[in-house]
Structure 1
Amino acid sequence: MNSPKEKTLLSLDHAEITIPDIFSSHGKFRKHQEAVVCGSVRRTWGDFNDNMNRVANALLASGASRGDRVVVMMGNSVEILEVMFGIVKAGCCVVPLSGLLTGQQLASLINDCGATQAFATPDFIERLRPFQDEVLHLNASHRYVVHGQVQGWTDYQALTQGQSTGTPNVVYRSEDAFNIIYSSGTTGLPKGILQSHRARVHWAISNALEMRFSDRSRALTTTSLYSNGTWLMMLPVLFSGGTCVVMPAFDPMAFSKLVKEEKITHTFMVPAQFIALLQTDMDSHDLSTLEVILCAGSPLRRETKRQVIERMGDKLIELYGFSEGFATMLKPGAPADKFDTVGIPVLGFEVRILDESGQVLGPGEIGEIAGYGPGMMSCYHGKAAETAALIWQDERGRTFIRSGDIGRQDKEGYLTLVDRKKDMIISGGFNVFPADLEEILGQHADVLDATVIGVPHERWGETPLALVILRPGAAFDSASMLTWCNERLAKHQRLSNIETRQDFPRNALGKVLKRILREPYWVNAQT
């Protein structure tokens, strides 16, 4: 007698939160609520989600498959968000590239990530044109131009017109590549930071909770959308079902007006933007809708921080972060004696302070900052050795990422950032941290902004040189300013000279590129 056929029993999925599925949900249940605003363009969640789906379905129809790298070369607009997240909805990996790069650098990074498709605006395409023959993997039929017409590139509207607005038939896995974002290159050539769906979900949830985002939040982004730092504001507000208001380009005069008109609740700026904003007449605008003002990119000087709180309210959150994967926050309500710190780890992260041999240091001891948590990158794309060099393992075998930054933690776990390890100046055998000197320079009445670099010195090896941007109308007296600063510095910290600049070279988040400032002095010394 034959035994009955055994039935295969179904088991439940290990269901996970994914950003594409969350956006699909908002498109259904918040259809008529605003999702994105940029200039005169306004998108509801229904239209925003439909357009993301059109991009995704167009890519799938072109033969795109899971994990394919797709480059995005666009400035701030509603469309860049629809393109970036449409790429992710197709199961592909989005690679946004910086508008600060040269054509040759763009070609190099397109090759580095192995992109097979690309979306770009005409200005990027024109920059890339002299080097387009060097691009290896980018199929000629898979190049799409947005906001214009360019010969040899498919029109974006033609690509997406007629495509289904239905949810793509894609299953997203937490370990899948979500994006590659290239580092700002403050200490060398950019490296591709590969982040998974898991890391981006943690980024969205942790920042949404820490900064109190909801579906009623209206967040203003003031920096470039290709930048990882901008995602601190953009991703959690969209994840929460709120509204992301995008400045096409930062204008300090327009900022306060936009906050008032759009009833902004959350915003993010870098120190250079705060400095510029403080020079304007903010008091003529109602900023009372602001609940959270985030600063990241580099630390605020104490005096600038006091002015921000005095003029904008006690709403400032300072974030110290490392794009490769961890962060701390100092929030309003922290004890007064923590004012000079960068706070405690963001939800889900841990921080350790290490000495040169990798031993964990105790409270108050200065060493390298290392961090651990679910927001860590998967790796540097194509750079296994560089990835391995960052890793430090704790007593449980967990892999922390070494930051290259120097700091200390107090007994309560509050982190004080001392400086970047690579920016530290060793003068006559003494460690000199530029941030300490920059803090003093910033207190001078004639100084709007300042940075300190190490330059060659015959006797001491290297010595601190100050570069300053003067306040409008200030007269520069180098000898007087040098005396004023050195009277307030320890002997081994004293500045050798002060020079003026009209501006500093900066990355997309306003961080000063000190390697560019140092380079001429060291090249001249060698020749």
Structure 2
Amino acid sequence: MNSSKEKTLLSLDYAEITIPDIFSSHGKFRKHQEAVVCGSVRRTWGDFNDNMNRVANALLASGVARGDRVVVMMGNSVEILEVMFGIVKAGCCVVPLSGLLTGQQLASLIKDCGAKQAFATADFIERLRPFQNELVHLNANHRYVVHGQAEGWLNYSELTNGQSTTTPSAVYRSEDAFNIIYSSGTTGLPKGIMQSHRARVHWAISNSIEMRFSDQSRALTTTSLYSNGTWLMMLPVLFSGGTCVVMPAFDPTEFSRLVAYEKITHTFMVPAQYIALLQTDTTQHDYSTLDVLLCAGSPLRRDTKRQVIERLGNKLIELYGFSEGFATMLKPNAPADKFDTVGTPVLGFEVRVLDESGAVLGPGEIGEIAGYGPGMMSAYHGKPSETSALIWQDERGRTFIRSGDIGSQDEDGYLKLVDRKKDMIISGGFNVFPSDLEEIIGQHPDVLDATVIGVPHERWGETPLALVILRPGAVFDASLMLPWCNERLAKHQRLSNIETREDFPRNALGKVLKRILREPYWINVKT
């Protein structure tokens, strides 16, 4: 009888591009090239990748599982990037939290995402101490302090020293959670925007192509690294194998110095930063290496845009979009008659304009903007009903995300904004939700009712103004009420002033008509 051995037939993997694997490749083939610069600290790709691997291997040794949430609470530094991407390399989901939040707000978000481990600097830790009992998921042995010491927190160097620099054994799938970014808004619980590896790869590739990044690019980040907007610069330049130069904090004069000294090719600023830069003497600095100036976060006033182009060159790209998932860009080579638009969809995205019934509108017709593409969020973390409420399906069954913004598309597909999300205030590039502020103001013993609107601000674009109706017999004193409110609000939420009203204009259902309240403040403002 003939005997034969059965041969196992192998099949090929469904190979995917992942950001951790791309960074490992750069660490091998670009090991001597600069990857990150912040202040006096300069990391080559070899060292940068080794340090990410040390973080990842330390986390894996501690017992993390695929998809575990790990919180990061740090200011701008080289280390925050090594920590964030080290977390991702371990197969975990990184949750960067804002430095503008109060201790109570930080504790609420740590609890909401179910983080089991955390990295933080001492300033964050001190804010959190009064709320330690609320950190129910956060393992007491898995809290790490970076840049200093903090009682009860393991030193970061003790965690990573002696860890292997070999590529971690984690497996990444396109549908796995890469990060959770919490939307601005703090008093109630802001929504956690969950983005997958697929979405972040699209973010990196599409922006690399649209803004012409390469391994020779040097991008300057001017905003906080926990912010999703900052990733418009940071992620594509690192994905491309270039160099990310990080400002610890923004200063317009230092910005100009760094552009020349570091030979910066790409940068991103919000309108308030462009306005601050224009207040300096730009003739004293060399901007010749700059190829791309990106503006996002809030609309750039037309007069400001013209000044930027006149003084820094025709290099400005305006981006409209939101973290949930799509974007458009207006580039310098756009026709002159598109100057007042926000451009066309970024590579891979589609945009539709919808009427109130959800029907698609034609060119020039005004309605709600909705977008679709591989950069969309997976969901709002733990909020299925809120996720579902955003979805509009097209004739092919594809799920578009409703923006809540109003606009129109012309015959060439260029998008024009008519209004922003109904009541949201965008101050210095940060989203401020009036309902969060109103909840705090309404707790003041003299306040019967309150509403918050955005009013013009020379530096920040707009700023929150509180309008209050007093309780009978109460005596109004703004010098006392204003600090009472602001000490209970995050930095980016703080009120510029408080004014009193006898009543508010309302619709038939009693809802305050904020548009009418805003009009007197904006009527003479040039746009």
TM-score (norm 1): 0.82
Q: Determine the structure 2 residue equivalent to 1:481.
A: none
Q: How far apart are 1:469 and its partner, in Å? A: 3.6
Matches within 5 A, 1:310-459: 310-423=310-423
Q: How far apart are 1:185 and its partner, in Å? A: 2.5
Matches within 5 A, 1:45-194: 45-185=45-185, 189-194=189-194
* Mapped partners of 1:521, 1:347: distance in 2: 48
* Mapped partners of 2:187, 2:8: distance in 1: 57
Q: How far apart are 1:253 and its partner, in Å? A: 1.5
The one-letter amino acid paired with 1:276 is A
Q: How far apart are 1:423 and its partner, in Å? A: 2.6
* Mapped partners of 2:75, 2:285: distance in 1: 28
Alpha-carbon distance change, 217 to 46 in structure 1, aligned in 2, over 3 angstroms: same
1:219 alignment partner, SS class:
strand
* Mapped partners of 2:10, 2:502: distance in 1: 68
* Mapped partners of 1:150, 1:298: distance in 2: 37
The one-letter amino acid paired with 1:467 is V
* Mapped partners of 1:359, 1:523: distance in 2: 41
The one-letter amino acid paired with 2:322 is F
Alpha-carbon distance change, 188 to 142 in structure 1, aligned in 2, over 3 angstroms: closer
The one-letter amino acid paired with 2:237 is V
* Mapped partners of 1:372, 1:74: distance in 2: 32
* Mapped partners of 1:254, 1:524: distance in 2: 47
Are 1:239 and 2:227 an aligned pair?
A: no
The one-letter amino acid paired with 2:30 is R
Matches within 5 A, 1:472-487: none
2:220 alignment partner, SS class:
strand
1:115 alignment partner, SS class:
coil
Alpha-carbon distance change, 399 to 103 in structure 1, aligned in 2, over 3 angstroms: same
* Mapped partners of 2:365, 2:25: distance in 1: 48
Alpha-carbon distance change, 275 to 186 in structure 1, aligned in 2, over 3 angstroms: farther
Q: Is the 8 A contact 2:105 2:186 kept in 1?
A: no
Matches within 5 A, 1:220-299: 220-299=220-299
Q: How far apart are 1:151 and its partner, in Å? A: 1.1
User: Residue deviations 1:389-442, cap 9 Å, x none?
Assistant: 000000000000001111110010000111124239xxxxxxxxx99xx9xxxx
1:112 alignment partner, SS class:
helix
The percentage of aligned residue pairs carrying the same residue is: 82
Q: How far apart are 1:467 and its partner, in Å? A: 3.2
* Mapped partners of 1:292, 1:69: distance in 2: 34
Alpha-carbon distance change, 106 to 207 in structure 1, aligned in 2, over 3 angstroms: same
* Residue of structure 2 aligned with 1:467, choices 455, 465, 469: 455
Alpha-carbon distance change, 388 to 520 in structure 1, aligned in 2, over 3 angstroms: farther
User: Residue deviations 1:164-212, cap 9 Å, x none?
Assistant: 0000011211111100010123997421000000000000000000000
2:141 alignment partner, SS class:
helix
Q: Which runs of 5+ in 1 are unaligned?
A: 425-433, 439-450, 455-461, 472-500
* Mapped partners of 1:205, 1:183: distance in 2: 23
Alpha-carbon distance change, 463 to 4 in structure 1, aligned in 2, over 3 angstroms: closer
* Mapped partners of 1:293, 1:370: distance in 2: 26
The one-letter amino acid paired with 1:342 is V
Q: How far apart are 1:523 and its partner, in Å? A: 11
Q: Which runs of 5+ in 2 are unaligned?
A: 436-449, 460-481, 505-509, 513-527
Q: Determine the structure 1 residue equivalent to 2:42.
A: 42
* Mapped partners of 2:452, 2:150: distance in 1: 49
Once the two structures are overlaid, the 10-residue window that deviates more, 156-165 or 1-10, is 1-10
1:348 alignment partner, SS class:
coil
Alpha-carbon distance change, 145 to 465 in structure 1, aligned in 2, over 3 angstroms: closer
The one-letter amino acid paired with 1:53 is N
1:140 alignment partner, SS class:
coil
Once superposed, what is the RMSD of the aligned Cα atoms? 2.8
Q: How far apart are 1:7 and its partner, in Å? A: 1.7
The one-letter amino acid paired with 1:406 is I
* Mapped partners of 1:327, 1:42: distance in 2: 32
The one-letter amino acid paired with 1:280 is T
The one-letter amino acid paired with 2:401 is I
Q: How far apart are 1:87 and its partner, in Å? A: 0.1
Q: How far apart are 1:79 and its partner, in Å? A: 0.1
* Mapped partners of 1:77, 1:466: distance in 2: 32
The one-letter amino acid paired with 2:111 is N
The one-letter amino acid paired with 2:313 is G
Q: How far apart are 1:65 and its partner, in Å? A: 1.2
2:362 alignment partner, SS class:
coil
1:407 alignment partner, SS class:
strand
The one-letter amino acid paired with 1:231 is W
* Mapped partners of 2:78, 2:22: distance in 1: 19
* Mapped partners of 1:349, 1:309: distance in 2: 27
Q: How far apart are 1:283 and its partner, in Å? A: 1.0
Alpha-carbon distance change, 258 to 377 in structure 1, aligned in 2, over 3 angstroms: same
2:422 alignment partner, SS class:
helix
Q: How far apart are 1:61 and its partner, in Å? A: 0.3
Matches within 5 A, 1:490-505: none
Q: How far apart are 1:518 and its partner, in Å? A: 10
Aligned length: 458
User: Residue deviations 1:424-471, cap 9 Å, x none?
Assistant: 9xxxxxxxxx99xx9xxxxxxxxxxxx9x99xxxxxxx9998834459
The one-letter amino acid paired with 1:267 is T
The one-letter amino acid paired with 2:379 is C
* Mapped partners of 2:386, 2:501: distance in 1: 26
